[in-house]
Amino acid sequence: MGEPAGSPFERFIAFRAFGGVLELSPDGEQVYFVSDLSGQYNLWRVGAGGGWPEQLTAFIDWTVRLAALSPSGEQLAFCADHDGDEFMQIFLADTRGGWPEQITDAPQVQHYVGPGAFSPDGRRLAYAANARTPTDMEVWVRDLASGETTPVFGEGGFAFPGPWAPDGSALLAAEIRSNSDSDVSLVDLGTGEATLLTGHEGEAVFAPGPWAADGSGFYLVTDDGREFKGLAFYDIAARAHEWVEAPDHDVVDVALSRDGRVLAWLVNEDGYERLHRRDLVTGTDLPVTGLPEGARPHLVGLQAPVALSSDGTRSAVLMTTPRRPPELYVDGSQVSDSWIGGGIAEAELTDAELVSYPSFDGRTIPAWLYRPDDANGAVVLSIHGGPEAQELPLYSALYQYLASRGVAVLATNIRGSTGYGKTYQRLIHRDWGGGDLQDWDHAARWLRAQDWVDPKRIGVFGGSYGGFAVLSCVTRLPDYWAAAVDIFGPSNLVTFARAVPPTWRRMMKDFVGDPDEDAEMLAERSPITYIENVRAPLLVIQGAKDPRVVQNESDQLVERLRELGRTVEYILFEDEGHGFTKKQNAIRARKAAADWLLSYLAPALGHEAVPEGAVADGQ
C-alpha cells in the first residue's frame, strides 16, 4: 500500500463502522450486528465463517441502536430513533424474511430494548420506557400476541430490565441512581411484587447479568466494597453474592451460554478489553486466541456485548485497535473486512502509547499519546465525553489523519474517567470545571515541557463533555491554545442542566448541580461566563436534534463570540442529534474538525472548514 502521508481525510475514514448490537443465533451459525455499511446504522447478518453480510433493515433516517434475538432465533426486537433524536421506538423483525413491524409509535417516548429482552418462551418482551411519566424510566412487559403492555417496575425512578429467570416467572431489574450507584431487584411477574436484592450503604454499582440455567441465582457485576467492578454470583436462596473474579481492573461485560455451561466476561486492563471464558462444568478456563490488543467500539456510548451460542461453543466480539478499524471476530477469527478501498496498512499508521502526567493534587493522569515519527511540533489535546467514560485504544480517523500530517494527539483520561477505580471516577461529581480544569492545565504544561512540542502550536478538541472541556480551556486557560474544536459541548451549565432529557433531571443535582439551588456555582463554572477571554479560533459543531446538549448551548456561545468579534465558525447539522448517525455527516464533521485544526497548527496545509451539505454560521 502507498504511503498515507498525503492521503485525503476520506481515506482514513473509509471503513464500515459498527453499532451497539451483537447476537449469535442459537446454533452459532449466524451473527447479527449493526453497521453503517449502507450509510446509516442498520441491522445485518453474516455467517459465522464470514462472507458478504445480508442487510435486514433498510432505514435511511432511522438509526438502529439496540436489539435482542428471541430464544428460537426466529425473531429480532430492536429499537431505533429518527435523526438522532433518541426517542427510540420498538420494531419486530422475522429473521426468516419480511419487513420489520413497528410496534410502538409514541414520538415523545424513549423506548429501550436490549439483549435478553425476550422471555424464555419468546412470548413476552421486556423493555424500558418513560411512557407514563416523562421523568420516569420504567420497566414494561409486552405480550407479543395481544399487544398488551404492563409497567412492572421503576415508577418514580430510572430503571431498566435485566435478564428473565429461566422459567419466565420473574425478571431482574436495575434501578440506577447515578453512574456510580445502582441496585438490582427481583420482579415476580405473577404477583407483581419486587424484592430488592442488593440493598447497600453508600454508593455501589450492582448490574444484573445472566441467570444460572437452574434458576438458583444470577451473575452480576459490582464494585461493592472495592475500588473496581468484579464478577460475582448472587444466590437467590442465600440472598447474598460471592465473588467469581475480583481483578484489580473493571469487569465490563458478562455473558453465559443458554445451557449454562460457558461463562464469558471482559476485563478492562488500562483501556484494553480482554476476553475470558470458563467451562463451568469442568471449572477450567478456555483458551482465547486471535483477538487483537484493543477494545470494543461504541456508538453514542453503546458498546456491543460479548455473544455466545446456546451451547457456548462459539463466541463473538467486536474489537478495534489504534491502527485497525472495528472488526467482527468469531472464535478469534476475523469474519469482517471493514476497510473500504483497500485500507491502510497498520505499519503506516501511528500506534498509541500509554503515558501519564502529574496533576495539581499528586494524582497521575493517564493518557494515550499518538506521536508520529515525523512529528512537526504541533499537538492536539483531545478530551473524551461522558465524563464518566474512558478514552480507549480505538481506531480514530481524526487522530490518524492528524498524525499523517505530523500532528501528535494526546488523548487524556482526566479525573472522572472510568476504568481507574470508583474513587477516581467520583471526583468529577458536582465538580465540572473544577479539578478537571486543573488536569487540562497540567496536560498543557506537560506538553509545553516536551522538547518535541512547539508551545505555540497546541490545539484542543472534544465532544459532549469533551466539548465543555474545550470551551472551559479556551475561556479559562486561554493562553495555551492555537485552535479549538467544540462538538455539541455545554457552554452554560445552568441552561444545560435545565434542558437535559426529563429522565436525567433527578440525577443532575449529584451529577453536575441543581440549576436552581446551585445556580451561582454552575454559573461560576460555565464557559459562557468567561467568554471575553477567548483568543483561539474556535469551530463549533452541533446537531439540531440533540436531546442531551440542546442547540441553544451552541447558539448562545456563537452569538456572543460574534458580538465580541472573535474567530468562530458554526456548523449545524439539521438531521443529527448527539453524535453522528449518518456516514456522510460523520465524514463531513470530522473532516471539518481536522481541517480547522491543521489550518492553525500547520498553516501551510490549508483547509476547507465548512463541509458541503452542512449549515454554516448558524443560518
Q: Per-residue pLDDT tens for 47-62?
A: 999 999 999 999 999 9
Return the DSSP state at 237. T
Report the SS3 class of residue 383: strand
User: What's the CA gap between 309 and 332, in Å, rounded?
Assistant: 14
Architecture of the domain delimited by 346-616: 3-Layer(aba) Sandwich (3.40)
Contact 143, 190 (CB under 8 A): no
Q: Is 50 exceeded by the pLDDT of residue 610?
A: no
Mean of pLDDT values over 132-149: 96
**What pLDDT was estimated at residue 604?**
59
Q: What is the pLDDT of residues 562-605, one digit of tens each?
A: 999 999 999 999 999 998 999 999 999 999 999 999 999 986 55
Break the chain into its structural domains and give their ranges.
17-118+255-339, 346-616
The set of residues, in sequence order, having a beta carbon less than 8 Å from that of 229 and lying 6+ positions away, is 205, 207, 221, 222, 223, 250, 251, 252
Q: Provide the pLDDT confidence category of residue 300 given band limits of 50, 70 and 90.
A: confident
**Would you state the pLDDT for residue 506?**
86
Rg of the chain in Å (alpha carbons): 24
**DSSP structure class, residue 122:** S
Cα–Cα distances in angstroms (integers) from residue 432 to residues 225, 427, 505, 513, 527, in the given order: 26, 9, 17, 9, 11
- The pTM assigned to this predicted structure is 0.94
Helix (H) or strand (E) holding 452: none
Task: Give me the pLDDT at residue 608, please.
Answer: 40
What is the grid cell recorded at 491?
457552554
Rounded to an integer, what distance in angstroms lies between the CA atom of residue 342 and that of residue 15? Answer: 10
pLDDT of residue 2: 40
Q: Residue range 423-439: average pLDDT?
A: 96
Strand duo 458-463 + 483-487: pairing? parallel
- Over the stretch 312-332, which tens digit does the pLDDT of each residue have? 999 999 999 999 999 999 999
Q: Is 614's pLDDT higher than 50?
A: no
Question: In angstroms, rounded to a whole number, what is the distance separating the alpha carbons of residues 2 and 364?
Answer: 39
Q: Indicate if the pLDDT at residue 505 is higher than 90.
A: no
234-241 mean pLDDT: 96
By percentage, how much of the chain surpasses pLDDT 90? 92
* Predicted confidence (pLDDT) at residue 619 exceeds the cutoff of 70: no
Backbone region of residue 416 per phi and psi (left: phi > 0; alpha: psi in -120 to 50; beta: other values)? left
Q: What is the pLDDT of residues 73-111, one digit of tens each?
A: 999 999 999 999 999 999 999 999 889 999 999 999 999
Backbone angles phi, psi at 330, to 5 degrees: -120, 120
Residue 182 CB coordination number (10 Å): 22
- CB neighbour list of residue 451: distance below 8 Å, 6 or more residues apart: none
Cβ–Cβ < 8 Å for 354, 376: no
Helices (H), 231-336: none
Beta bridge partners of 84: none
At 24 the pLDDT is 97
CA-based nearest residue to 176, from 164, 161, 194, 158: 158
Main-chain phi, psi angles of 295, to 5 degrees: -155, 175
Tell me what pLDDT residue 323 has.
Answer: 97
Q: pLDDT for 353-393, tens place per residue? A: 999 999 999 999 999 999 999 999 999 999 999 999 999 99
Residue that has been written with the C-alpha cell 473500504 in this structure: 340
Name the average pLDDT for the chain: 94
Alpha carbon distance 228, 101 (integer Å): 42
Give pLDDT tens digits for 253-274: 999 999 999 999 999 999 999 9
- Please report which confidence band the pLDDT of residue 492 belongs to, taking 50, 70 and 90 as the band edges: very high
